[in-house]
Amino acid sequence: MAAKEDFYAKVTPRRQRQTRPGTVKHGSSLDVLLSMGFPKTRALKALVSTGGRNVQAACDWLFSHVDDPFLDDPLPREYVLYLRPSGPLLHQLTQFWQQSRITCGKNKAHNIFPHITLCQFFMCADGKVEALCDALQAAVGQWRGRFPNPLPLELYTSSNFIGLFVNEQVAETLKSFATDFATEAAAKADVHVEPHKKQLHVTLAYHFQTNHLSSLEKLAKAVDVAQGCDWLAVLFSRDIRFANHETLRVMYPYAPQNEDELELVPGDFIFMSPVEQGTASEGWVYGTSLNTGLSGLLPENYVSRADECDTWVLHGSYSFLNCASPTNMGGAIGGMFLDGHLDGRHLEDPSPVDPPSLNVVCQPMQMLRPNSQSLLPKRTLFVCRHGERMDVVFGKHWLTQCFDAKGRYMRTNLNMPPSLPSRSGGFRDYDKDCPITVFGSTQARLVGEALLESHTVIDFVYCSPSLRCVQTAHNILRGLQQDGKTKIRVEPGLFEWTKWVSGASLPAWIPPTDLATANLSVDTTYRPHIPISKLTVSESYETYISRSFQVTREILAECKNLGNTVLIVAHASSLEACTRQMQGLNPQNSKDFVQVVRKIPYLGFCACEELGETGLWQLVDPPILPLTHGPNHSFNWRETLLQD
């Protein structure tokens, strides 16, 4: 095998090289792929890249990577051997992971799940991965019955590191196991493995802010290291080309507008290297898709930071206590997580959640969600932007088109609603509080119908006092067939950043009683958490963010134990403002916030789930498909068809 440095020398920035446009045996699967006409190198790469799960997964990978400029590159993957906890200790560490992330934000330790490193990263040719897994199985078999259990772990903290260290004498025993694995790997797979020589430990936190030390240390001391645990020997691999790249998760779909842009599919991952960003304009990044291998420019507000291990592939998991046949989970390591967090499931569990295949380009969005039928119902928060608004489609002076001198409404376009609710302050109040269009109502109803089709039941609906939001919520309930059954709670605290309101006063919103009179499903008995009197004109960004966070927390507290699903219908800014701090993340600066808001379309929809009973929340894939539509300009047949 060539020296590692030779392989690394091949890893040049993709932009310079690219042309645009326990285990399952590989043997039988390889034969099937070869009989289908796939070249052997490609078939092996597909099997290895999907963890040897099955022929279908390998085929899906090959079809999605058909235009990958590196499809035939002989560069092997990098492998690593970890000890990973399971059982009660894993549950303890998972709780620490979640609470520390919420309390202090993400630190470097969160990039990889809890583990003890047994060797350095090493490379193995695709054709020898099966032998490598056999080597690990053989090494574990030799150590069953004499593996130290429980492992004595001792908490250590410093100004920028917190971890659980293995007792030195026991650590030497673990290193002996790693040496035996290295020997087996050399004999069976002709692979050089370098056992870990440093102190063995489980990293809990590092590279964190100094002021978070006391909080993290307090959480670490709550971890009961005496809890039972079956330590598992697990073998992972990663694509060596992206070892030093930042991993990003695609949050929103994006269709390329130019040849040098990359298509984005929610659930995909993007690899981004700082050295490749030289020609990307502000607000754009250059990255490579995990699902297709293609590279291009993409809007940075359509992606979010992910953990490094989210894209790793699991090749085998072996128990030192359980003598049953080893388990191969296959596929991306994200398959062992529920939407990005550890699910506490034993790797040797005989009925694990089947990891999602890598062909997300071809799958409907619902298939991206993990199977959660066996789990207890989770509290879910949906946040949705209102539908298409009249003043954007027909211009700021739409009132002069639709109202005569006596204030009587007259429809002048099919996309204008047939009628509008009357307003006690007169039709001029529509200037700051416009309705949605007919198409806006259709958009909302489509979202409701999709929620109904996904068997989603909305227990509570809250919305901004803006008429466009109330009408959107009403039509979502119509699509859900819940109009009249579920009432909309109008919450002024959900109104957008008041700095964006023109003039010296806030809109004169229609009171809930008048909305109900106009046959909108509004709860007239609801008492807001933040009344209109508490809103101020031209509030600061910090005040708006604080208000949104406060009202979201109070809404969720109000609904707890009364229903599992809450829908907030508000503004584009609400998708960010109502969810970011619920995840324990710090608010973005106002400039970045505005860039995010600009990218959220009508009926933009996001979902958050609570992590157990912890009160912590995280973004997950919505249960419905996204809604995309194109512009449709006004058509005057006289001007177009009667021209000379």
Residues 41, 47, 52: CA angle, nearest 5 degrees: 150
**b/e sequence 437-461, b meaning 16+ C-beta within 10 Å:** bbbbbbbbbbbbbbbbeeebebebb
DSSP H/E element including 79:
strand 77-84
Distances (CA, A) of 323 to 137, 182, 318, 513: 11, 22, 9, 68
Longest dimension (CA), the chain: 95
Cis preceding linkage at 377, omega within 30: no
Cβ 143 vs Cβ 183: under 8 Å: no
Strand partners, 488: 461, 522
- Among candidate residues 104, 26, 67, the one with its CA nearest the CA of residue 288: 67
Identified catalytic residue from 110, 385, 389, 489: 385
Interatomic CA distance for residues 47 and 382, integer angstroms: 37
What is residue 280's DSSP assignment?
Answer: P
φ, ψ at 123 (rounded to 5°): -110, 150
Residue 571 catalytic? yes
For residue 554, give the amino acid letter: E
**How is the chain split among helix, strand and coil, in percent rounded to 5?**
35, 20, 45
Residues 152, 157, 160: CA angle, nearest 5 degrees: 135
Strand partners, 217: none
Interatomic CA distance for residues 231 and 541, integer angstroms: 48
Identified catalytic residue from 238, 341, 468, 571: 571
| CA 617 from centre of chain | 12
Cβ 472 vs Cβ 603: under 8 Å: yes
Tally of CB atoms within 10 A around 259: 9
Interatomic CA distance for residues 5 and 521, integer angstroms: 67
Tally of CB atoms within 10 A around 562: 9
Residue 629 catalytic? no
Helix (H, G, I), strand (E, B) or coil at 629: coil
Identified catalytic residue from 115, 249, 379, 386: 386
Helix (H, G, I), strand (E, B) or coil at 232: strand
361 exposure class (CB count in 10 Å sphere: 0-12, 13-18, 19+): middle
- The four Cα atoms 570, 573, 576, 579 give a dihedral, to 10 degrees, of -30
Contacts of 391 (CB under 8 A, 6+ apart): 398, 434
For residue 606, give the amino acid letter: C
For residue 227, give the amino acid letter: Q
| CA 371 from centre of chain | 16
φ, ψ at 228 (rounded to 5°): -65, 150
Interatomic CA distance for residues 601 and 629, integer angstroms: 10
Cβ 427 vs Cβ 446: under 8 Å: no
Contacts of 332 (CB under 8 A, 6+ apart): 290, 310, 311, 312, 313, 355, 356, 358
Annotated catalytic residues are 385-386, 571
